[in-house]
Structure 1
Amino acid sequence: MLRRRSFPLIRPELDDDPLHTTLTELRPAQQLHGLGAGRTRPPWEPVADLLRTTGRDWDRRAHRLAVLAQRLPAAISQRWISDRPDDGDALTLRAFVESGGSASSPSP
């Protein structure tokens, strides 16, 4: 007998379709080995594009950074920083990754 879920499935990206698209694009394909295999552009570029289009919507930016930090391999933020060490979005994503994807300040 099949059971129905009594609660709706909620994606971490909620209703943010551009964020969902970016996460889907960066998911490694089954037939390819490794992150970015077969791609011609850096694996961090879709993330940079997403954050650039976010503009000054700080709530959305913080949400996107938190979800990206939790869902993306750490190699993406590492590669982005090695390619563009002065990029503010790269540094912010790396900070979110290192804090565990949390936008809150550390507790004393």
Structure 2
Amino acid sequence: MSKIVQFQCCVLRTHHLGERRRDNDPGQPVVGTVRMYSMLHKGLNRHVPRMTMDALAKFGATVPSAIPDLLEPQLLTFASDRGMMVVGFEEIAGVRYYQGWWMQWTIERA
């Protein structure tokens, strides 16, 4: 019987309300599982790909992340030993802002 493994990522958002963060103020990283799907966006009247993150709770439960979904994500860079950079847009209070997610895989230690 095979075991399903959920890889966790650490996401660091590169922008705040569309403005690039300063190097000395990277913001708080968020750890959880990332998935991508498509959903109807009523304002655009079309299906929009989105990337979302769920934080892990106790006993394997998931809770919605504190960060907004990344709409129309595009992969910019990828290195299996470092991480990947994904950019897109996030919607906050009905306004779209440019956003980047620097994603790195976390290692669970027993």
Give TM class, smaller chain: under 0.3
The structure in which a higher percent of residues are strand is 2
Q: Look at both structures and tell me which one has the larger radius of gyration over its CA atoms.
A: 1
Q: Identify which of structures 1 and 2 has the higher relative contact order when contacts are C-alpha pairs closer than 8 Å and 6+ apart.
A: 2
Structure 1 length as normaliser, TM-score? 0.24
